Chain A
Amino acid sequence: MQNDGCRTPDIGKRGGTMILAKTGNEAMAYAMKQINPDVVAAYPITPSTEIVQIFSNYVNDGLVDTEFVAVESEHSAMSACIGSAASGCRSMTVTASQGLALMHEMLFIAGGLRLPIVVPIASRSLSSPLNIHADHSDSLASRDSGWMQFFCETVEEGYDSLIQAVKMAERTSLPAIVAIDGFILSHCLERIDVFEDKKIQDWLGPYKPNWNLLNLDKPILVGPATLQDYFFEFKRTQIEGMNKALPIVQKVMKEFKQEFGRGYDVLEEYKCEDAEAVILLMGSACGTGRAAVDRMREQGKKVGMVKLRVYRPLPHELLKQSLSKFKHIGVLDRADAVNSYGGPLFTEVTSLLYNVADRPKVLSYVYGLGGKEFAPEHAEKVLEQVLLGKKDELVTYVGVR
C-alpha cells in the first residue's frame, strides 16, 4: 500500500474514515481506484496527466482489477471506452482541453448509444494561443454531445462527484463528465476525508448493462444506420433520457448523503435569503464568490451567490425558481460563446428567465479564461455592479487589461 498520508483525530467529521492530503488529480485517481472500473483507456494530457499516471500505478501494483489500455490518442481512448462499455464493462477515461476536443466525434457516439462512460476532466482552455490553465471552454464546447456535466468547487467535491457520477450514469444510461478546474483544483493540495474502498464498491454495486454486444445468447446490432425515417425518433429517445435525468441525479445525491453523511444539491444558494443581487457561478470560482459575498455582507450589502453544480441535465426549473427571486443577477462564464453578448451559461439563464413575469435584470460576465486570476476583489467588483443593476458594456471581460 502506498503512503496515503497521515491519520488525524478529526476522522469521520465529514463522514469519511481517513483524512488525506490530496491534490485534485490525486483525489480523482483515488476515487477511480475505489470505483475499480473494468476498463480504463486513456492518453495523458496536462493538467489531468497525473490522474492517469497515478491510476496506472494502481494497476501496476495490483490494487485494482482494471484492464488498462494505453492508446495512441484521445479519439482512440473514447473509442476503446465505447467498445468496452458496449461489451458490458464499467469504463472510464481521463482527459482535458484538446484531448476532449479530439474525443468530440466519439462523445456523440457514446451519447447516442447511451453508454454510461464516466470521465473526470481537469478543465483547461483550448488553443490557440496555447495555454494549459483553467477555464471551461473544453467541457462547454462538448455541451450538446448528450453527456451529463458536473462542475466541482473543491477537491473533496470532485472525489465525491466522481463516485456519484458512476451511479448516475448507469441509472440514466447517459455518459458523464466530472470537471475539476485545471491547476486550481487539479494541482492544489486539499484535505479530503475519504471513504473505505469496500463501502464505495458496495454502494455502487456491480454494473448491470442494459445490453451487451458480446452476449451470444441474445445477439443485437449496435450502431445501425438510420435514415430520414428513424434517426429523429432515436434522437428523441436520447433527448428524453436527458429530460428524465435530473430526478435520478437528485436521488443519487440523496442516497450518497444518506450513506456517507455528506452531499450536495444540483444548485446551491449561499447567503441568498434576503439578497438583492447574486452572482451565478460554476466550479472552483464559487469559493472566490463565497469570500467576496462574506466581505460584502460584513459591509451590510445584501449580496449572495448561486452555485450551479449540474450543467447537464440543466436544472432549468430549479434555476428559474431560484433566480427569479432576485432583482439583479450577474452570470459569470468561464468560457465565451463568441456571440458578442455572453457566455454559454448567460445565454441559457437569460432564455430560461424570459417568460418569468417579473424577471430580474441579468448582467453578463466572462472571467478567468486561460487561468486568468479571479480573486475575491474581482468578484466584489462584479457584485458592486450587479447591485447597481447596470454597466456600460454588454459583456464585461473581468480582469482583462
Chain B
Amino acid sequence: MNLKKKGWQELPCGAIIEDPGAVLNNKTGAWRSMRPIWHEDKCIHCLLCWIYCPEASIIVEDGKMKGIDYDFCKGCGICANVCPKKVHAIDMEKERK
C-alpha cells in the first residue's frame, strides 16, 4: 500500500489513531527469524495455539485450525510450545528469506 505520509499539521492531538485496525497496514511477519510449520494430519484442533498466540496469527474457521497467518506471525514459537507433546503438530524451522 502506498500511503502519502502526513505532515505534522494533519496529525491528531495526542498521537491517537482514528482508523481502527490500522495495524493491518503494517505487516510484521518480516521480523520472523523462526517459522512455525503446521502439520494438518497431526492436529487435533484443541486450539491451544489460538488461545496463546500473542499476535492472533492462528487462522481458525468453524472451530478448526486452518493455518498460520505469516503476514503477522513473528515466529515466537509459543504455538509450538503449547501444542501437546503427544500431538506435536507444529515445528519451528529457521526462516529462509
Is A236 in contact with chain B by the CB < 8 A criterion?
Answer: yes
Cross-chain contact B13 with A114 (CB below 8 angstroms):
yes
* Residues on the B chain within 8 Å of A234, using CB: 8, 11, 15
Is A9 in contact with chain B by the CB < 8 A criterion?
Answer: no
B46 to chain A, nearest CB (A): 32
* Residues on the A chain within 8 Å of B20, using CB: 219-221
Q: How far is the CA of A237 from the CA of B14 in the complex (A)?
A: 8
Q: How far is the CA of A230 from the CA of B7 in the complex (A)?
A: 9
Chain B 7-22, CB within 8 Å of chain A: the 1/0 string?
1110111111110101
Cross-chain contact B15 with A112 (CB below 8 angstroms):
yes
Is A223 in contact with chain B by the CB < 8 A criterion?
Answer: yes
Q: How far is the CA of A241 from the CA of B11 in the complex (A)?
A: 12
B72 to chain A, nearest CB (A): 14
Interface centre among B6, B12, B22, B23 (most CB of A within 10 A): B12
A216 to chain B, nearest CB (A): 11
Report the nearest B residue to A239, measured CB to CB. Answer: B8
Choose one: A223, A226, A233; the contact of B7 (CB below 8 Å).
A233
State the main secondary structure of chain A at its contact with B: loop
Report the nearest B residue to A229, measured CB to CB. Answer: B5
Report the nearest B residue to A225, measured CB to CB. Answer: B26
Cross-chain contact B13 with A237 (CB below 8 angstroms):
yes
Cross-chain contact A211 with B8 (CB below 8 angstroms):
no
Cross-chain contact A173 with B13 (CB below 8 angstroms):
yes
Q: How far is the CA of A232 from the CA of B6 in the complex (A)?
A: 12
Is A224 in contact with chain B by the CB < 8 A criterion?
Answer: yes
B7 to chain A, nearest CB (A): 7
Given contacts A229-B5, A233-B6, contact A221 B11 (CB under 8 A): no
Report the nearest A residue to B26, measured CB to CB. Answer: A225
Is A115 in contact with chain B by the CB < 8 A criterion?
Answer: yes
Q: How far is the CA of A115 from the CA of B18 in the complex (A)?
A: 17
Residues of chain B from 11 to 54 with CB closer than 8 A to chain A in the complex: 11-18, 20, 22-23
* Residues on the A chain within 8 Å of B9, using CB: 237
Choose one: A221, A229, A240, A241; the contact of B16 (CB below 8 Å).
A221
The 5 A-B residue pairs with the shortest CB-CB distance in the complex, in nearest-first order: A114-B14, A221-B17, A236-B8, A233-B8, A219-B20
Residues of chain B whose beta carbon lies under 8 Å from any beta carbon of chain A? 5-9, 11-18, 20, 22-23
Residues of chain A whose beta carbon lies under 8 Å from any beta carbon of chain B? 112-115, 173, 210-211, 219-224, 226, 229-230, 232-234, 236-237, 240-241
Given contacts A237-B8, A237-B13, A241-B13, 12 further A-B contacts (CB under 8 A): A210-B13, A210-B14, A220-B16, A220-B17, A220-B18, A221-B16, A221-B20, A221-B22, A221-B23, A229-B5, A233-B7, A234-B8
